[in-house]
Amino acid sequence: MHTFPFRHPLVSLAGRSWAATSTEGLLIFSLDSSTVFDPFQLDEEVTAGSIRRALRAAQWTRALVMAMRLNEECLLQETLESVPCTDIKVLCSSLPELYVERLLAILALQIERSRHLQFYLIWAHELLMQHGQKMKSRSVSLLPAIHSLWKSIQTHFNDISKLCDWNRYNMKFAVCLSRQRGMKRSAEGGDSDVEGGDSDVEGGDSDVEFEVASSEDVEEEIAE
């Protein structure tokens, strides 16, 4: 069994995990099967506080790189959603190639879960447009991230297309029904004019009857 000295052990509030520093680095033990902490090129300057300070200073690229290095899901989501839509293109163009694959996987996850669908689609579009040519040279390694992104977009497409088809059908039905009612009223109006030409007295009665009939049609339409 491999043994080594460690210092400063800390236990989580739930009591299901603990961490300690050692000569081997930062050690984290947890009873949960899911990975909670998976940093990437971490150093002392990468903290949640420094990331939020960079966001307040509108240093979007620096904040995003540090958030991906810390790799905490909530902090990554906060960083991405803090970037204005107008700055996404510039940020994607200045993002180092080392982080493109990781960002693609993050975007695929957010597109699947988040309600800000258009916002994350803009992120994915600009990232692929800015780095698409360079990504072709390592398409094999990027295939899992691309497949996950495509799967998330396809799921939303299937759901939204069904809703759009249903709405389009209902609109066509409403337009056809409105036209049929308009033709019916025109025909009824023409019959009243013909009957009104027999005599002045009868014509006057027809006008009264037509006005009453028209008011009844309006009441029926409002009731419907």
> Residue 16, Cβ neighbours under 10 Å: how many?
12
Encode pLDDT of 165-206 as tens digits. Answer: 888 888 888 888 888 777 777 776 666 555 555 544 444 444
pLDDT of residue 81: 94
**83-87, 107-111, 165-169, 206-210, range with the lowest pLDDT:** 206-210
> Which burial class, exposed, middle or buried, applies to 204 when counting CB atoms under 10 A from its CB (0-12, 13-18, 19+)?
exposed
Query: What is 38-157's CATH topology?
Result: 1.25.40
Report residue 75 as tokens.
């902090």
Question: What confidence category does residue 218 fall into, taking pLDDT thresholds of 50, 70 and 90?
Answer: very low
Full DSSP string of 37-105: ---SS--TT--HHHHHHHHHTT-HHHHHHHHHHHT-HHHHHHHHHHS-GGGHHHHHHHS-GGGHHHHHH
Which pLDDT band, with edges at 50, 70 and 90, does 37 fall under?
A: low
| Mode of pairing for the β-strands spanning 25-30 and 6-11 | unpaired
What pLDDT score does 98 carry? 83
Mean pLDDT of 63-80: 89
Q: What percent of the chain has pLDDT over 70?
A: 76
The pLDDT score that the predictor gives to residue 79 is 94
Give residue 38's pLDDT: 54
